[in-house]
Amino acid sequence: ERSVTEPAEALRFTLQVACLDGRWLLLLPRERKPDATGQRLLANLLQAAGVLPERPLDFETFQWPQMEGLPVDAPLEEARQGLQAFLEGRRRRGWAPERLLLFGHDTTLATVLTVEGEHCALLDLPAWQGPGLDELADSAEAKRALWPRLAGWREAWHGSSENDDAAPAGG
């Protein structure tokens, strides 16, 4: 006789995670860290926006679930708690995210983060979501569409932390 409650299936996603000077969280839904071209593109975008971190970007891989084969009761809640715990561990190393930049789209991750408009509900941060680095590298149109946003990034990066509650204007 089978149990009435079947074990749930864990949500699955992989991210590359970095934090600009401990302030801006960068998430890239992808299996591998950006290659040299992707790193250069990201550096050029940030430089064009006037976002000049003092330390080089160092991406870490976050994969969910972190351990296979464990029972899952509430897949969405467990994935959210797992990502939050990962980021909380990074806070102890100096990360204090004020803003989220999400380069790329993953349906599962979108459900976990709940980015609506210019706000990430899960992390309670102003957020921007746009094309992935591969699309930006291959598409002049995608780069042109991003261009107006860069002025808002500049203002948010150089503005006081009191003004960082509002998402930047310009896109």
pLDDT tens-digit map of 52-78: 999 999 999 999 998 888 889 999 999
CA max distance for the chain = 64
Per-residue pLDDT, 138: 95
pTM: 0.86
For the 13-165 domain, the top CATH level (class) is alpha beta
Phi-psi region of 15 (alpha: psi -120 to 50; beta: other; left: phi over 0): beta
Answer whether residue 80 shows pLDDT above 80.
Answer: yes
Answer whether residue 5 shows pLDDT above 90.
Answer: no
58-80 b/e (C-beta count within 10 Å ≥ 16 → b)? ebeebebbeeeeeeeeebeebbb
Over residues 9-68, the pLDDT tens digits come to 999 999 999 999 999 999 999 999 999 999 999 999 999 999 999 999 999 999 999 888
Answer whether residue 167 shows pLDDT above 70.
Answer: no
Domain coordinates of the chain in residue numbers?
13-165
